[in-house]
Amino acid sequence: MHNLTLAQISKGLEAGDFTSVEITQHFLDRINQFDKGENGLNSFITISEKQALIDAQAADERRAAGNATQWTGVPFAHKDIFCTDGTLTTCGSKMLSNFVPPYDATVVENMKREGAVCLGKTNMDEFAMGSSNESSFYGAVKNPWNNETIPGGSSGGSAAAVAARLVPAATGTDTGGSIRQPSALCGLTGLKPTYGRCSRWGMIAYASSLDQAGPMARTAEDAAMMLNVMASFDEKDSTSINQDVPDYTATLNDDLAGKVIGLPKEFFPDSLDGEMKQTMKAAIAEFEKLGCTVKEISLPSTDLAIPAYYVVAPAECSANLSRMDGVRFGHRCEDPKDVEDLYKRSRGEGFGDEVKRRIMIGTYALSTGFYDAYYVKAQKIRRLIKNDFVKAFEEVDFIMGPVTPSPAFKIGEKSGDPVEMYMEDKFTLSCNLAGLPGMSIPAGQINGLPVGLQIMGNYWNEASMLNAAHKFQQVTDFHQQAPANI
């Protein structure tokens, strides 16, 4: 049963091939078998075994009463950044290692309303800050394709769990590539929607103007099925856009003939690994067979994305994490001498090195005398990046290229060099800075490890992107390939 897609599980439940309790227990057994222990993947922080079985039983009763939706009784998992009422929500940090929210995030609420069954909360880089899932307080997540390699970050726990068939799909968040990058490195389909498409309410903030929730699944059809539920307007989120949510599954089989694909020369530099370049070109050739035409374009501000992002994002994280002080919630040091000692030791003990590094960078960039020189200038660059995309989408329907410079690297290989780690996001950051939708789809393997093709579309064009991905997956089998020994 674990090899079934979301869509197949939904149809199987409807047909009575199995019950929600049966398939939920099946996935829980797999989590207990493959995720924990010295050789486990460590993709989950919290396993909600008791609650999941209660919810599955309720789903079966709801289905028997004729009140089922497409999602009723379908198991999945949440990234541990979404607040869940009564369930530990840690954001991969010691700071929130005892935080149990009294409310649900809007995305969580949407999934509950449809009757989906959450199996637990997945591991992640601390406060979503990282590209390898090594900064989690709960330890590094392993890539199921090779346990010595990273799964990507920050949504690496979700990616590893779905790739290992421990869960059919999971939610993720993407601030600078944190859905697309782990999806690429684990052989999944992952989508970052247009900024404002999914509510951020109850999603613990890293960089508020960049964060966006999205689906991580094995196929474009499953991602569309997830986005149908995750996307919504939310009055509680001032950045949520009041725009109707289409049925993303309705246009999956539309014809691609006549669509124009833009290939930015900045995404195919001479320094790009030869095998990666060849794999990307082979994948794009499949789209040409489907009737698309290819056009070389330029996004001249691309090289400015990394410096701009690593000013804007740390500045916003510095402000967002200021609430984590050991007073109202979260980790508190023992026996503080006074308020200053409470703040210093609680934050010093509660945050990991990468989070501290980004808080310090952000605080510096926002300080008097440096705000105009760094933060304001980074925001101006952000506008230039957006303008590049606006101009490009006047000529093309999609922009494609690699998600990452290389396949997954070994755990610990780059953790001592933050700058080298930041370079892993060189092809994904500009999408977030511009607020555009972007996705990764499995496009092949290099040295036995999966790599992903990035598809970017114009604002609110998620349906067209999912259509392109689905048509590609009908003529290729990369999305069907699975790690050995699972």
Which pLDDT score, from 0 to 100, does residue 49 have? 97
Phi, psi of 216 (to 5 degrees): -130, 120
pLDDT (tens digit, 9 = 90+) per residue, 366-398? 998 899 999 999 999 999 999 999 999 999 999
Tell me the pairing of strands 260-264 and 398-402: parallel
Peptide bond connecting 131 to the previous residue in cis, omega within 30 degrees of 0: no
Place 38 in a pLDDT band, splitting at 50, 70 and 90: confident
Q: Is 76 helix (H, G, I), strand (E, B) or coil?
A: strand
Q: List pLDDT tens digits, range 266-318.
A: 999 999 999 999 999 999 999 999 999 999 999 999 999 999 999 999 999 99
Say yes or no to pLDDT of 224 above 90. yes
Gap between the Cα atoms of 152 and 406, Å rounded: 11
The encoded tokens of residue 477 equal 């089998």
CA distance 127 to 205: 8
pLDDT at residue 416 in the model: 84
Q: Is the pLDDT of residue 139 over 90?
A: yes
Distance CA 309, CA 312 (A): 5
Which residue among the candidates 43, 48, 136, 154 is catalytic per the annotation? 154
Per-residue pLDDT reduced to its tens digit, 405-451? 999 999 999 988 888 898 899 999 999 999 999 999 999 999 999 99
Q: What is the pLDDT of residue 222?
A: 98
pLDDT the model gives residue 328 = 86
List 10, 43, 79, 346, catalytic entry = 79
Mean pLDDT in the chain? 97
- Where do the DSSP E strands lie in 209-312? 213-217, 260-264, 293-297
Give catalytic status of residue 79 as yes or no: yes
Q: 184 versus 419: which is more confidently predicted?
A: 184
Stretch 348-360: mean pLDDT: 96
Amino acid of residue 46: T
Domains of the chain: 1-486 (3.90.1300.10)
What is residue 485's predicted lDDT score, i.e. its pLDDT? 81
Question: What DSSP letter does each residue of 271-325 carry, written as one string?
Answer: TS-HHHHHHHHHHHHHHHHTT-EEEEE--TTGGGHHHHHHHHHHHHHHHHGGG-S
Percent of the chain exceeding pLDDT 70 equals 100
State residue 378's pLDDT score: 97
For residue 418, what pLDDT is reported? 87
Q: Is 178 a catalytic residue?
A: yes
Q: Are strands 117-122 and 44-47 parallel, antiparallel or unpaired?
A: antiparallel
The answer to whether 48 touches 24, Cβ cutoff 8 Å, is no
In this prediction, residue 148 has a pLDDT band, given cuts at 50, 70 and 90, of: very high
The active-site residue out of 10, 132, 155, 178 is 178
Residue 37 binned pLDDT confidence (cut-offs 50, 70, 90)? confident
pLDDT band at 329; cut points 50, 70, 90 = confident
